[in-house]
Amino acid sequence: MHRVGIIISDHFQMLALSTLTVLEFANYANGKTFYQPQVYSESGGTVRSSLGIGVETLPLGPDALADTWLVAGVVSPVQEPASDGVVHFLQTTARNARRVAGICTGAFVLAQAGLLNEKRATTHWAHARSLAVMHPTVQLAEDRIFIIDDRIWTSAGMTAGLDMVLGMVEKDLGADIARVVAHRLVMSQRRSGGQTQHSEILALAPRSDRLQRALEYARSHLGKTLTVELLAEAVHLSPRQLSRLFRQETGKSPAKAIEGLRLEAARLMIEESRLSLDAIAHEAGFRDGRHMREVFIRGYGIPPQSLRSGR
């Protein structure tokens, strides 16, 4: 039995509790109970979320033991630092656990307890700069879904906590169980920790269903030569209609939007795989490695190999 304790405090984000659903479905997929989660707070009793909904908790103390501790974030981590009791518990009892993790702005609590000193960590992009200023010893990677540094895990905001806990399931029970859980939770993909918090499709902000489908088709077929005619046929529009839709909703031509998708895909493959740069260029749909390098420098200001050499 693997005990998991999640620590919440007043004004915590309700979405943090959804991470326990990942553990619930992992138990189902495993065929027997592996995870035993409990919800804790400093003094126990009812704790109010940022929505005002009350959640019953057990008190922290010497008898509060877990193999993995999850620390939920609050809406305003700068204005609402963790209590002395929570910090003391993390510095003493919790730090001896197998894992300690900060969900979203829970990273601020771990940093306050000194658990992130000289550690790589991430948090919600909107609070990343504040974390860097308040805790300069943290090696902040503000553009990552989640990060593991030894026994310390931290995640970006909101749904990234699900990805982080799913990553724990994969380490504990294997990739097959993690895939079953992701499927049960209707997660479109299991995002790895190295993935960026920002999605190119979200940045393009398509409003219409047809343009969203065109972009999803393009992202799923980057290895092809993606002409306007091919995309238009996939979503049952004329090339002229689709080009106009791209301009109206994204401010970009179809070619520029697809280039952004190729760039994002190549970046992820460089960071997460051991494929050669030429193979990645082919997979992402660039003409060759030289073409990918040109687009990288134009888009990111650095050559693609610099991402790999920095790992």
Distances (CA, A) of 20 to 17, 234, 297: 6, 39, 42
pLDDT score at 216: 87
Q: Which of 113-117, 190-194, 218-222 has the lowest mean pLDDT?
A: 190-194
Name the band, by pLDDT with cuts 50, 70 and 90, for residue 203: low
Mean pLDDT of 131-149: 89
DSSP string, 273-296: ----HHHHHHHHT-SSHHHHHHHH
Mean pLDDT of 258-263: 90
Distances (CA, A) of 260 to 85, 100, 147, 253: 47, 36, 25, 11
For helices 175-184 and 19-30, angle between their N-to-C axes, nearest 10 degrees = 120
| Distance separating alpha carbons of residues 157 and 134, to the nearest angstrom | 18
Q: Please, are residues 252 and 204 in contact by the beta-carbon 8 Å criterion?
A: yes
Average pLDDT score over the chain: 89
Name the band, by pLDDT with cuts 50, 70 and 90, for residue 197: low
Mean pLDDT of 244-262: 90
Q: How many CB atoms lie within 10 A of CB 135?
A: 18
Residue 72 has pLDDT above 90, yes or no: yes
Strand partners, 144: 196
Tell me the helices (H) and strands (E) count for the chain, helix number first: 14, 10
Residue 188 has pLDDT above 60, yes or no: no
pLDDT score at 311: 44
Q: Give 282-298 pLDDT, tens digit per residue.
A: 999 999 999 999 998 88
Q: Give 21-36 pLDDT, tens digit per residue.
A: 999 999 999 999 999 9
**What torsion do the CA atoms of 68, 69, 75, 76 make, to the nearest 10 degrees?**
-130
Residue 176 CB partners (closer than 8 Å, separation 6+) = none
Residue 126 has pLDDT above 90, yes or no: no
User: What is the total residue count of the chain?
Assistant: 311
Domains and CATH numbers, the chain: 2-184 (3.40.50.880), 200-309 (1.10.10.60)
Phi, psi of 154, rounded to the nearest 5 degrees = -140, 150
pLDDT score at 226: 93
Tokens representing residue 249 in the block: 């909703």
| Distance separating alpha carbons of residues 279 and 234, to the nearest angstrom | 27
DSSP 8-state secondary structure symbol assigned to residue 193: T
**What torsion do the CA atoms of 109, 110, 112, 117 make, to the nearest 10 degrees?**
-160
Name the band, by pLDDT with cuts 50, 70 and 90, for residue 64: very high
Percent of the chain scored above 90 by pLDDT? 64
| Distance separating alpha carbons of residues 208 and 251, to the nearest angstrom | 14
Residue 70 has pLDDT above 90, yes or no: yes
Mean pLDDT of 68-92: 94
